[in-house]
Structure 1
Amino acid sequence: MHIEEKNYQDPFYHSNIFNFYFKNLKIGILDIETTGLNPDRNRVILGGLVTKEDDGIRSLQIFSESREEEATLLEAYLNEIKKLDVLVSYNGDHFDLPFLSKRFHFHGLCKEFHKSPLHCFSMHKSLDLYRTVDRYSNIRKSLPNLKQKTLETYLGLWSDRSDEISGADSVEMYYDYLKTKDESLREKILLHNKDDILQLTRLMKILDKLDLHEIMFHTGFPVFLEDKRLLIESISLKKDVLYIIGRHKNIPMEYRCYNSAYAAELSHRNQQLFIKIPCRAALDCLYIDLEDFRIDSAQLEKYPGYQSGYLLVKETDALNYLEVNHFLRLLLEEILKEL
């Protein structure tokens, strides 16, 4: 197994909105190289990771130098992933994470795989930039496709690349490397992967062009208090009721709260979170009375959706994503304080 690690002075992406959701969390940018697209038949040959450090960023690449080293590679890679809270990828929800999960399971590294194909990452917030751009922007209409390199060109980042090979080329080179042990082939594969992960750090500025509050409403976000962890997986408004579904970790007890304002359940057995919040209706609006909740609503007073102790959830057909997300974070933090 070959490991390459390097530190860079490049700043990691940040913005006020991004920090609202991810400040103080451990973030990693992930990309893998495989021998094909089917995890039942193909293997992981290289795991790449970029992490945010105090003085810049750090790249880590773990390369399998033989067919027998995949398990060793995956164990080392998984140990690095376990240190993280947020995984940023490009099409990772559909490829990298499911592929890794199956290979982890194959080698006995993910004991809980049977519960869900992505259970190995059950407490990681996944931020898939491909999925985000595809579902929550109109950028696709301006581009011939949404390949990573196409989006890099759109943002003026193409000149930052050094490699000139494709993923398919790297597979052919890998099989040649296994036969010849030619280090120049290994270096080309590593360069291709390193450019992908370093470019993803720069590609994160695409978030400046998107409504991150809307994205977090639909895809969920983490809420941590010390070692207690909640991960919202989905938020939905059905008629006049908000439903929140998620998972939790390091909460060694059952929690149930039923009152007129909301119902909340945290199951210790399956680590699931469920909250139901009825909203009140007036004219074309849905709102909640903040006095019904034990939260510090002063943090919400700066928003347009705050009106004299009430929080407007929906006005006509427009959801107030920021207001709802911030309210939910405050509510969940209060629940964690009780546990």
Structure 2
Amino acid sequence: MKTIRKEVQTEPFRSRAFSLYTAGSEIAVFDIETTGLYPKRDSLILSGILRLRPDGSATATQYFSDRSGDEPEVIRATVRDLAECDLVVTYNGRSFDLPFLRTRAARYGIDTGALNMADLDLYMVLHYHSDLKAAIGSLAQKNVERFMGLDAARKDEISGYDSVRLYQRYMTNHDPKLEAKILLHNHDDILQLGKLLPVIEKTDFHRAMFSLGFGAGDFTVRELRAGDGGLDLRADKRRNAVDYILFPTPEQPYSLMMSRESGSLEVSFPAVKAAPGIPVIDARRILGEETMKTLEKYPAFESGYLILKKADRISYLEINAFVSAFLRQIGPRLSR
């Protein structure tokens, strides 16, 4: 296996919406190259990980299977690096890159249990939570790059299909020119994907995070449900989980159950009706006065209550902010 590591300079993306979900997070932009689309028969030949830092600097690391039998080593190195991050950014990674990695790891008995970080799949955000496809047609990464004015920064001229064919030739002659083309394609993919983060401003990002989940301290939110009866939360604790059960009391008006074995957390916050069709949660009682001061700037917090919805319009931003504050606050109690 070859390891290629380069320091690169990127323009840091600063956004209040993005920071709500990523403040203090270790972010990795991730992409893989494979010999095909089917992980049960095809191999992972190259992974690229771009580690982003707040000052705009970044490190691009590639793990390349340049010899037969290198795949397990590539997978171990990739899993190790991703497990160090709080958030992984991909483009269609939920459907392809991450499942492919896990399936190939399982083939070699490599544990991927540490890959419980939050994952931001920009393709899913654009596809389900924006009107961009209607405006530009294809949501292929390179087409979105053109829309965002980033295509001039891309140096490679090959496709993923081309990369597979080049790799097949490379494994017969180890031509350094072929290697350079394969590595450049993957390198440009992760570098360009890092630059694509501002596209979230073209989306309903808070609704996307409500639907897709996000990181909050040591937790990764997996599912949120908001309705007339209240708010239900399911999350995974990334490390040091405990067995814990909490029943509602006047002081803590919610139920909570956590499993040490699975790291899974389930919380239910019951709502009361402030008016017909307007369920609310007593956020001040749950979070305390000091935490509420940081949330009252958002419109759906009124008099210490979180308005879950009005006329079927869900308060995505405020619910996400409440859940993030709650998980960060309760985290130390749920650690061994």
Match of 1:185 in 2: 178
Give me the whole-angstrom Cα distance separating, in 2, the residues matched to 1:333 and 1:95. 30
Q: Please state how far the C-alpha of 1:23 moved relative to its aligned partner.
A: 1.1
Give me the whole-angstrom Cα distance separating, in 2, the residues matched to 1:49 and 1:337. 30
> Does residue 91 in structure 1 map to residue 83 in structure 2?
no
Give me the whole-angstrom Cα distance separating, in 2, the residues matched to 1:72 and 1:333. 35
> Does residue 105 in structure 1 map to residue 106 in structure 2?
yes
Match of 1:69 in 2: 70
Give me the whole-angstrom Cα distance separating, in 1, the residues matched to 2:137 and 2:159. 18
Match of 1:272 in 2: 264
Match of 1:216 in 2: 209
Match of 2:81 in 1: 80
The root-mean-square deviation of aligned C-alpha atoms, in Å, is 1.6
Give me the whole-angstrom Cα distance separating, in 1, the residues matched to 2:65 and 2:333. 47
Q: Please state how far the C-alpha of 1:338 moved relative to its aligned partner.
A: 3.0
Give every structure 1 segment of 4 or more consecutive aligned residues whose post-TM-superposition deviation is greater than 4 Å. none
Q: 1:319 to 1:297 in 2, by over 3 A?
A: same
Give me the whole-angstrom Cα distance separating, in 2, the residues matched to 1:170 and 1:135. 29
Match of 2:234 in 1: 245
Q: 1:143 to 1:321 in 2, by over 3 A?
A: same
Match of 1:153 in 2: 146
Whichever residue aligns with residue 248 of structure 1, its letter is K
> Does residue 326 in structure 1 map to residue 318 in structure 2?
no
Q: Please state how far the C-alpha of 1:251 moved relative to its aligned partner.
A: 3.3
Match of 1:174 in 2: 167
Contact 2:117/2:238 (CA < 8 Å) preserved in 1?
Answer: no
Give me the whole-angstrom Cα distance separating, in 1, the residues matched to 2:233 and 2:162. 44
**SS class of match (1:68):** coil
> Mean alpha-carbon deviation: is it higher for 286-295 or for 269-278?
286-295
Deviations 1:114-150 (A, max 9, x none): xxxxx562x2101011111001001111122111111
Whichever residue aligns with residue 275 of structure 1, its letter is V
Match of 1:206 in 2: 199
**SS class of match (1:11):** coil
Whichever residue aligns with residue 234 of structure 2, its letter is I
Q: Please state how far the C-alpha of 1:310 moved relative to its aligned partner.
A: 2.0
**SS class of match (2:69):** helix
Contact 1:43/1:70 (CA < 8 Å) preserved in 2?
Answer: yes
Give me the whole-angstrom Cα distance separating, in 2, the residues matched to 1:92 and 1:165. 20
Q: Please state how far the C-alpha of 1:92 moved relative to its aligned partner.
A: 0.4
For 1:293-332, what aligned pairs fall within 5 Å after superposition?
Answer: 293-295=286-288, 296-332=291-327
Q: Please state how far the C-alpha of 1:49 moved relative to its aligned partner.
A: 0.9
Give me the whole-angstrom Cα distance separating, in 2, the residues matched to 1:120 and 1:82. 5
Q: Please state how far the C-alpha of 1:184 moved relative to its aligned partner.
A: 0.3
TM score, norm. by length of structure 1: 0.92
Q: 1:243 to 1:251 in 2, by over 3 A?
A: same
In structure 2, runs of 5+ residues without a counterpart are none
For 1:1-150, what aligned pairs fall within 5 Å after superposition?
Answer: 1-53=1-53, 54=55, 56-110=57-111, 121=115, 123-150=116-143
Q: 1:263 to 1:154 in 2, by over 3 A?
A: same
Give me the whole-angstrom Cα distance separating, in 2, the residues matched to 1:157 and 1:78. 29
Q: 1:272 to 1:146 in 2, by over 3 A?
A: same
Deviations 1:96-117 (A, max 9, x none): 000000111111112x6xxxxx
Give me the whole-angstrom Cα distance separating, in 1, the residues matched to 2:39 and 2:47. 15
> Does residue 235 in structure 1 map to residue 236 in structure 2?
no
Q: Percent identity at matched positions?
A: 34
TM score, norm. by length of structure 2: 0.93
Match of 1:115 in 2: none
Q: Please state how far the C-alpha of 1:303 moved relative to its aligned partner.
A: 1.8
> Mean alpha-carbon deviation: is it higher for 73-82 or for 200-209?
73-82
Give me the whole-angstrom Cα distance separating, in 1, the residues matched to 2:284 and 2:15. 32
> Mean alpha-carbon deviation: is it higher for 232-241 or for 154-163?
232-241
Give me the whole-angstrom Cα distance separating, in 2, the residues matched to 1:20 and 1:294. 17
Q: Please state how far the C-alpha of 1:291 moved relative to its aligned partner.
A: 4.4
Give me the whole-angstrom Cα distance separating, in 2, the residues matched to 1:199 and 1:101. 24
Q: 1:242 to 1:67 in 2, by over 3 A?
A: same
Match of 2:245 in 1: 256
Deviations 1:302-339 (A, max 9, x none): 22212222221111121111211111222223322434
Give me the whole-angstrom Cα distance separating, in 2, the residues matched to 1:5 and 1:338. 39
Query: Residue 330 of structure 2 is aligned with which of 307, 317, 335?
Result: 335
Match of 1:196 in 2: 189
Q: 1:82 to 1:249 in 2, by over 3 A?
A: closer
Whichever residue aligns with residue 26 of structure 1, its letter is E
